[in-house]
Copies of this chain bind each other. A is one copy, B any other.
Amino acid sequence: MNPRSWTTQADSRRRRLKRAGEICRGKVVPADAVTALLEAILEPGDRVCLEGDNQKQADFLARCLSRVNPERVHDLHMVQSVIALPEHIELFERGIARQVDFSFSGPVGTRMAQLVAEGKIQIGAIHTYLELFGRYFIDLTPQVALIVAHSADREGNLYTGPNTEDTPTIVEATAFKSGIVIAQVNQIVDKLPRVDIPADWIDYIVEAPTPHFIEPLFTRDPAQIGEIKILMAMMAIKGIYAEYGINRLNHGVGFDAAAIELLLPTYAESLGLKGKICRHWMLNPHPTLIPAIEAGFVQSVYSPGSELGMEAYVSARPDVFFTGSDGSQRTNRGLSHVAGHYACDLFIGSTLQMDLDGNSSTVTLDRITGFGGAPNLGSDARGRRHGQPAWLKAGRQAQERPAAMPRGRKLVVQMVETFREQMQPTFVERLDAWEVMEKTGMDLPPVMVYGDDVSHIVTEEGIANLLLCRTLEERNEAIRGVAGYTPVGQKRSRGMVENLRDRGIIQRPEDLGIDKRLATRDLLAARSIKELVHWSGGLYQPPQRFRNW
């Protein structure tokens, strides 16, 4: 018997690179040779990370991969954050890929659900970003990574520009386990503005025919924020942010959170809260945050990725944002989510459906969207040990027995209107997630944020503080008590709801001393994208589709 080899992965890499050597010499690959290069390098069943981030996409490499011969390259196991492009779907339609472990799928979620039903996509699991990154180093290490950066020098050093996002993490997992890394860049230059990833870690670079795809996912037009969201934002600011003294936080991407951002320089300022709340942030550079930055509310912002149009503004505000010596933003999805998990006291997000225990999901039968960062940000960080007033107060409220070991608690706020589009009730007795599990054979219902981790629910009817609920029955009734005219809300026990209100578990706007008549668009610091541009002194340059003036 031959002795066991300990270098099978390095040997495989060498064989692949040798085959690639027949397609191209050196690190720089001509664009028209990439499909052939992929056919030479890839082997059936490979685990492949085709960089799909929140914003930027390795779109050219995706196109090339979708064109390989499925007789040579098939049954790939894709491991990537986001499924977003038509080419990502095409890989499964053509049999090039079979399995996927991912975090989020946006516009192609409907098609994905169909392909799962047809048996053409096997979903390993839907992860939160940081969870998938963790698995890159344990049991889902990619054999090949197809990544994207802004530019490269001739040695292969990479400049990611403001959208560093997932790139360093993907490359670290692949390059240090005998994997192969291929990078598409917008241009190959003599000298990079800065080095984000060392050439050592990169095997091939290709100048793509067009600049990589990038999506302004975090731009919310203030013109679309109505009075209900403004009222909810007032409640969140007065009933939660001021009440707990929230200074380190993360905002989800919806209009609800945008409304809060736009009320800081007006409503929060009028309450004397400047310098007392919202100083340190983990989030992408939301354009709706500009007024709060300019008004002096925001001290620092660390970001998973950047946002199209915010480049010049971010560069001009290095006291607030993390930037490189070249002046452009530095981001990092992995480290941001570490910071969001362990160093923020509050997460505020939204959802499509919530049950009476407070469990919520965005996965429905006809659309598999995934969770993104919400599970990581929207869960109690039980490994956390440092105190902060907000965290300690929430922990005291949640403590069930006087003798129990005291512990802090993250504030996880779900902000939802009681009905969503087409009068679908947000609050339901049973999540669609149960049916999704049954039909797709998942291990568990796909829950985005578990009720046990939620501290507050904010609707147009009021705030429910779940930390103070002592029994399951109280929790159910607290949720019914803010569920409005949904069937779930109508089943409330009036007496018990009033009792919860007396105990401060449910708070109506009037209980918070909020005058509903003030909840008008006049309260928004900016009412349009144009006004955001104005606040920024012209530095914010919104993408064309948001320029409606």
Contacts and interface: CB of A to CB of B under 8 A. Distances in A.
B9 A319 contact: yes
Interface in A320-338: 320, 322-325, 330, 332, 334-336, 338
Given A137-B339, A407-B444, A407-B450, A379 B382 contact: yes
Given A195-B200, A386-B135, A323 B176 contact: yes
A169 B335 contact: yes
A376 interface: yes
Contacts of A325: 175, 200
B139 A248 contact: yes
Interface string A219-251: 000000000000000000000000000011000
A443 B405 CA distance: 12
Interface residues of A, number: 101
A134 interface: yes
A9 B319 CA distance: 6
Contact of A319 (B7, B137, B335, B406): B7
Interface string A444-474: 1111001111000000000000000000100
Interface string A5-31: 111111000000000000000000000
A296 interface: yes
Nearest to A330: B176
Interface stretch (A47-55, A119-127, A477-485, A486-494): A119-127
A302 B137 contact: yes
A543 interface: no
A177 interface: yes
Contact of A200 (B199, B316, B324, B387): B324
B343 A383 contact: no
Contacts of A128: 342, 383-385
A334 to B, nearest CB: 7
Contact of A7 (B131, B318, B385, B452): B318
A392 B443 contact: yes
B450 A382 contact: yes
A359 interface: yes
A157 B141 CA distance: 27
Nearest to A140: B343
A31 B133 CA distance: 39
A407 B318 CA distance: 42
A196 B168 CA distance: 12
Contacts of A545: none
A517 interface: no
A133 B338 contact: yes
A172 interface: yes
A348 interface: no
A401 interface: yes
A136 B322 CA distance: 12
A141 B359 contact: no
A317 interface: yes
Interface in A472-517: 472
A97 interface: no
Nearest to A445: B405
Contacts of A9: 318-319
Nearest to A316: B6
A165 interface: no
A287 interface: no
Contacts of A450: 382, 405, 407
A4 interface: yes
B137 A446 contact: no
A387 to B, nearest CB: 3
B401 A280 contact: no
Given A178-B318, A444-B392, A472 B137 contact: no
Contacts of A135: 339, 342-343, 386
A375 B386 contact: no
Given A131-B385, A138-B339, 11 more contacts: A4-B296, A124-B386, A128-B383, A194-B200, A334-B338, A341-B383, A357-B405, A375-B382, A405-B445, A405-B447, A405-B450
17 contacts: A4-B296, A125-B385, A133-B342, A134-B335, A134-B338, A134-B339, A134-B343, A137-B343, A138-B282, A138-B300, A138-B339, A200-B325, A334-B334, A357-B405, A375-B383, A387-B442, A405-B450
